[in-house]
Chain A
């Protein structure tokens, strides 16, 4: 497989200084996403990684308007998604879809697989009757199931098969952009590869753009063209998958990558792991300055005073760190 050419492609979605804060009682504010900026090009897969609670899902949800942003903007195909009229909004919800982590909870158990897949078309008035059924059969075949499955119910399927149903549902309205929120985390390793290969094939055939959210950095590296690393609501580093893994610049990225065990005993025996001390701090009242300061061994005074901006330190390589030159 060759690497995709991304230069010269236009941005399909732009996120500018996006913030999503939640009120969590006692007048406290949880800053789930706190000023995130990135863009995704047409046909590209942007991986979004980071530890539990760092704001990945919230970012993805705000990007397709499942959450109202607290501040900042999301520009899809040139339009600010917070300022759409009804018709534009309907069009946007068709163009931007989501695949969820839990293939068990995200499918309505009382609906047949055919109706689950057809629901989006019904809402958007896309296809009716025979044409609708034909599309459902086509989608089932595209995702590696077969037309007989249309009349069955979700509980009759395995996790991997359910995730395929979720993908068929997302594809039914012919979207351009899909937020894949941990689409493989609930699946067995041998099944994960099936779903990832399917997502890659579909992207190639239909020119889809993905935001791919996951814990598993090995898989993210495999599927993504570029990767954004988040920590406590902020993007710490953003660059191509290759550069991120070959020359990570942010101390957090370095520790994160070094923490991942590689399935090769020889490699593991000769590795020196950077062990980060402590836990991820709470997004309620996060520290002033750099969000990573409490676990960073290079921390300086300036890191406690001022939050570092995400700067382009080399072409296509963005880092938010005062230490990196």
Chain B
């Protein structure tokens, strides 16, 4: 699904977020733009610390402020700029129109409150339901997310649930008010693969049945291939490439994207596959380099890469990349992921 003003749900423009620490300013997000259409699943991928969570949390003003601050940018949601919202206005959006699920369900479930009550809260607050109706809906939601004996389970506390069930309960809370956007930050990273498969299946069903849009943050490219329609690749606080699933997996153009795809083994390859790690580590976000942040680890780096951040090059309606290799003066480089497929 490419950008379509009629279907546009959230449109983030030039978001810049920093944290003021004793050691100085951490420039966690340095000009990030992306959009999500209604009912679409967008994946944000990238190495640990590249700013995925901060980006997602900033859209909902969920970063701790201070030390965090949104320095610049806009987050247009249904035509309104969320960065201009007061705390109170934000409260009414959170959990009703936009919901978030996290990697560790225990950090967002309240351990001292019955699971059913936690689902009911939003329904009573946002949808002005009666207690009785809300309870009925809570039972229904637990059933939707595949928890057996929901009538009993609503009366239990989170610690009485297994890890997979807690994740399901969190999804039930997140989806109770039928949000238009679900932000899922590593929703399955802490889970076993057989449970992960259950949760991903559930999320896909819900996306279909309720037309919920999803921003999926993950480091697992397999999960991305299974779930997303479009991908944003982040590196050191900036978006370095974005496109549809196929454009990134089969025609990715950024050397970092290549690195991500070539460093993971696949279950379905015959014989021994060689792994190509990305040598080195990401730059320090206290003083990000002035050129392309990936230059220091890039085997194709040219002098210009260390001097200046490349502009966007548009390759299709959805696909763009920021890399000096796109410049007409740059040498021709064989695309290693394309080659591998032929």
The chain A residues found within 8 Å of chain B, CB to CB, are 1-3, 51-52, 158, 160, 188-194, 196-197, 215, 217-219, 221-222, 242, 245, 255-268, 273, 275-276, 279-280
Contacts and interface: CB of A to CB of B under 8 A. Distances in A.
Contact of B277 (A190, A215, A222, A260): A190
Given A189-B260, A262-B268, A273-B201, A222 B273 contact: yes
B302 interface: no
B60 interface: no
B196 A218 contact: no
A2 B223 CA distance: 30
A193 B263 contact: yes
Contacts of A259: 193-194, 196-197
Interface in B259-313: 259-261, 263-268, 270-279, 281
B197 A263 contact: no
B246 interface: yes
B281 A160 contact: yes
Nearest to A219: B265
Given A217-B267, A273-B201, A190 B225 contact: no
B210 to A, nearest CB: 20
Nearest to B202: A275
B200 interface: yes
B272 A2 contact: yes
Interface of A is mostly: helix
B232 interface: no
B48 interface: yes
A161 to B, nearest CB: 8
Given A190-B263, A264-B249, A275 B197 contact: yes
A194 B275 CA distance: 8
B277 A261 contact: no
A263 B224 contact: yes
Contacts of B200: 261
B220 interface: yes
Contacts of B164: 279
Most buried by A among B196, B263, B270, B279: B263
Given A222-B273, A222-B275, A268-B226, A51 B263 contact: no
A267 B268 contact: yes
Given A222-B275, A276-B198, 9 more contacts: A191-B277, A193-B275, A218-B265, A242-B270, A262-B268, A264-B268, A268-B226, A275-B197, A276-B194
